[in-house]
A and B are shown apart, each in its own frame.
Chain A
Amino acid sequence: MDASIHVHNLNAWFGAKQALFDINLEIADKQTTAIIGPSGCGKSTFVRCLNRMHETLPDARVNGKVVIGDVPVYGKGISAVSIRRRVGMVFQKPNPFPTMSIYDNVAAGLKLNGFHNRRELDQTVERSLRQSALWDEVKDDLKKKSGASLSGGQQQRLCIARALAVEPDVLLMDEPASALDPISTAKIEDLIFDLKKQYTVVIVTHNMQQAARVADSTAFFLMGNLVEFDKTETMFTKPSDQRTEDYITGRFG
Chain B
Amino acid sequence: MTRTRFHQGLDELKQKLLTMGGLAEQAVERAVRAFTTRDVAICQLVLRDEPKINAAEREVDELSVDLLAMQQPMAVDLRFIIACIKINADLERVGDQAVNIAERVMDLVQYPKAPLNIDIPRMASLTINMVRDALNSFLTADPDLAHTVLERDDLVDDMNREIFEASDFAMTHGVETHRDALDTMIVARHLERVADHATNIAEDVIFWVRGADVRHHAQG
Interface residues of A (CB under 8 A from B): 208-209, 212, 236-239, 244-245, 248-253
Q: Is B74 an interface residue (CB 8 A)?
A: yes
24 contacts between A and B (CB under 8 A): A208-B72, A208-B74, A209-B72, A236-B74, A236-B75, A237-B74, A237-B75, A237-B78, A238-B75, A238-B211, A239-B75, A245-B75, A245-B76, A249-B3, A249-B73, A249-B74, A249-B76, A249-B77, A250-B2, A250-B6, A250-B7, A251-B3, A251-B7, A253-B1
CA distance A209 to B73 in the complex (A): 10
Q: Do residues A250 and B211 form an inter-chain contact, with CB atoms below 8 A?
A: no
Q: Quick one: which of B1-18 are within 8 Å of A by CB?
A: 1-3, 6-7
Give the size range of B's interface with the partner. Answer: 10 to 19
Q: Do residues A252 and B76 form an inter-chain contact, with CB atoms below 8 A?
A: no
Q: Tell me which residues across on chain A come within 8 A of B147, comparing CB atoms.
A: none
Q: Tell me which residues across on chain A come within 8 A of B72, comparing CB atoms.
A: 208-209
Q: Tell me which residues across on chain B come within 8 A of A249, comparing CB atoms.
A: 3, 73-77
CA distance A237 to B1 in the complex (A): 20
Q: Tell me which residues across on chain B come within 8 A of A248, comparing CB atoms.
A: 74-75
Q: Do residues B2 and A253 form an inter-chain contact, with CB atoms below 8 A?
A: yes
CA distance A253 to B4 in the complex (A): 12
- Chain A residue nearest to B6 in the complex (CB): A250
CA distance A236 to B79 in the complex (A): 10
CA distance A192 to B79 in the complex (A): 28
- Chain A residue nearest to B4 in the complex (CB): A250
Given the known A-B contacts A245-B75, A245-B76, A249-B73, are A237 and B3 also in contact in the complex, defined by CB atoms under 8 Å? no
Q: Tell me which residues across on chain A come within 8 A of B7, comparing CB atoms.
A: 250-251
CA distance A248 to B74 in the complex (A): 6
Interface string of B1-44 (1 = CB under 8 A from A): 11100110000000000000000000000000000000000000
Q: Tell me which residues across on chain A come within 8 A of B77, comparing CB atoms.
A: 249
Q: Do residues A251 and B1 form an inter-chain contact, with CB atoms below 8 A?
A: yes
Q: Chain A's nearest CB lies how many Å from the CB of B71?
A: 9
- Chain A residue nearest to B73 in the complex (CB): A249
Q: Tell me which residues across on chain A come within 8 A of B1, comparing CB atoms.
A: 251, 253
Given the known A-B contacts A237-B79, A239-B75, are A251 and B211 also in contact in the complex, defined by CB atoms under 8 Å? no
Q: Which of A209, A244, A251 has the most chain B CB within a 10 Å cutoff? A: A251
CA distance A212 to B76 in the complex (A): 15
Q: Tell me which residues across on chain B come within 8 A of A209, comparing CB atoms.
A: 72
Q: Tell me which residues across on chain B come within 8 A of A212, comparing CB atoms.
A: 74
Q: Tell me which residues across on chain A come within 8 A of B76, comparing CB atoms.
A: 245, 249
CA distance A249 to B3 in the complex (A): 8
- Chain A residue nearest to B72 in the complex (CB): A209
Q: Tell me which residues across on chain A come within 8 A of B78, comparing CB atoms.
A: 236-237
Q: Chain B's nearest CB lies how many Å from the CB of A186?
A: 15
Q: Chain A's nearest CB lies how many Å from the CB of B204?
A: 15
Q: Tell me which residues across on chain B come within 8 A of A239, comparing CB atoms.
A: 75
Closest 7 CB pairs of A and B: A250-B3, A238-B211, A248-B74, A249-B77, A250-B2, A236-B74, A245-B75
